[in-house]
Chains A and B, each alone.
Chain A
Amino acid sequence: MTTSVLPYEEFAEVALSYLNQLYAAARRLTGNPADADDLVQETYQLAFQHYGELRSVAHCRAWLYRILHRQAVTRYRRQRSGPQLVLLDGGADEGEHPTPHVAFDGDLLEHISLQEVRGAIESLPADLRIAVTLCDIEGFTYAEIADITDAPVGTVRSRIARARAKLMRKLQTHAEECGIRRKTS
């Protein structure tokens, strides 16, 4: 077993300070409280077992998210053939070119509810949704997201752009259906 240079008490204090954030991320990943509870408990259990692998407390938050996401994927794969999908997944990514035809009018968002925005986020394929929420909600850099999700940085960048293109299209369509007009042509 690896000997840690990080005092256990220091690690435990820092790790516990991220409990609320990790739980919120787990809720977004799983879509329900029961699975989020299990996922967070498993994450901390693994973190306490393996904290010797952590290089410094500065990396603690990203390291915990990495465990959380790995565990979520493991649970998803394990239960995929069962009656319940643990990882909330909005469907397949067709891998289309991300460039929207028209620039998205950000002012439209003032007239769109947060519930509608959440709905659009949750309709994204899991890979795209995870990348864009780690970036925009959790504030991780592309390099950190690459580490958390085990993907190359270029893939992370592409996933975030594709997620945003899809969100723009969906929210633009919603705005048009609701008669919300663009400010400029």
Chain B
Amino acid sequence: MSGCPAFEELSALTDGDLSRARAVEVRQHLARCEPCRRQVDGLSALKRAVGRAYDSELPSPTVRRAVAAGVAKQRRRRTS
């Protein structure tokens, strides 16, 4: 369909990062353009999949201790 928003704009729409005015225009376009609507559905599904792709890796006790030691060191420096 001619006048379709760029892929980049559809991508930004799924992130809520289009200006309010442009988002309204793009949503009006989506209401009458099936291919763009499918594209946005695909983008939203992909965003969710990327968001859950990784398990949370936790830092080792060594890192926790080192960071805590950094906090204490800085505190001593500030109070001395």
Are A109 and B46 in contact, with the CB atoms below 8 A?
yes
| B32 interface hit (Cβ, 8 Å) | no
- Tally chain B residues at the interface, Cβ within 8 Å: 41
Which residues on B are within 8 Å of A, measured CB to CB? 6-8, 11-12, 15, 17, 35, 38-39, 41-54, 56-60, 62-64, 66-68, 70-71, 73-75, 78
User: Which of B35, B39, B58, B67 has most A Cβ within 10 Å?
Assistant: B67
Contact of B53 among A8, A103, A117, A184 (CB under 8 A): A117
Shortest CB-to-CB span from A97 to chain B, Å, is: 8
Question: What is the CB-to-nearest-CB distance from B22 to chain A, in angstroms, rounded to a whole number?
Answer: 12
13 A-B residue pairs with Cβ-Cβ distance under 8 Å, sorted by A, are A24-B58, A99-B6, A99-B7, A103-B39, A117-B53, A118-B53, A133-B50, A135-B47, A137-B51, A141-B17, A157-B17, A158-B8, A171-B46
* A41 with B50, Cβ < 8 A, contacts A36-B57, A164-B43 known: no
Give the chain A neighbours of B12 by CB distance below 8 A: 142, 157, 160-161
* One of A12-20, A66-74, A77-85 contacting the partner: A12-20
Q: How many residues of A contact B (CB 8 A)?
A: 50
- Interface secondary structure of B, over-half rule: helix
SS of A interface (majority): helix
The 4 closest A-B pairs by CB, nearest first: A106-B45, A104-B42, A103-B38, A23-B59
B66 contacts across to A, CB distance below 8 A: 41, 44
**A positions within 8 Å CB-CB of B:** 8-9, 12, 16, 19-20, 23-24, 27-28, 33, 36-37, 40-41, 44-45, 48-49, 98-100, 103-107, 109, 112, 114, 117-118, 121, 132-133, 135-137, 141-142, 157-158, 160-161, 164-165, 167-168, 171, 184
Please name the residue on chain B nearest to A139 by beta carbon.
B51
In the bound assembly, the distance between CA atoms of A17 and B52 in angstroms comes to 21
- Are A103 and B42 touching (Cβ within 8 A)? yes
Q: Which of A8, A16, A36, A100 contacts B67 (CB 8 A)?
A: A16
- Complex CA gap A36/B11 in Å reads 30
Known contacts being A8-B74, A104-B46, is A41 close to B60, with CB within 8 Å? no
Among A9, A103, A160, find the residue whose CB has the most chain B CB atoms closer than 10 A: A103
Q: Closest B residue to A27 by CB, please name it.
A: B57
Q: Considering the chains assembled together, what is the distance between the CA atoms of A68 and B77 in angstroms?
A: 23
